[in-house]
Amino acid sequence: SALSPATRKMMFGGTGGVMAGLITYPNDTIRRLLQLQGSRGTTHEYKGYFDCLFSTIKTQGIRRLYAGLTINLIRMAPNTAVQFGSYEILKQWSEKL
């Protein structure tokens, strides 16, 4: 392959970060809604995780679960790419010691 191992790890790390963000973001949205209930400007009180999930989908649609996803992915892709790339570079460096 023409790409160095560190570059490959960065590419796959960034892709993995994006995929992880897509999969876990709805859970983060529900967690934030549950944390904010009862605070200023919120009127709805949820009975638990699934009540919050189904109520949100029913009243605001499934798109609400992904509101703010773009900025999260913009943050997550380079973050995981740097983590994986740094790990590979440090691993290669430590093997030479």
Distances, alpha carbon 68 to alpha carbons 26, 36, 72, 88, in Å: 10, 16, 7, 31
| Model confidence pLDDT, tens digit, residues 70-83 | 999 999 999 999 99
Please report, rounded to a whole number, the percentage of residues in the chain having pLDDT higher than 90. 67
Note the pLDDT tens digit of each residue in 30-63: 999 999 998 887 888 999 999 999 999 999 999 9
Give the mean pLDDT of the chain.
91
Q: What separation, in Å, do the N-terminal and C-terminal C-alpha atoms of the chain show?
A: 25
- Please give the full DSSP string across 63-80, using - where no structure is assigned: GGGGTTHHHHHHHHHHHH
pTM comes to 0.77
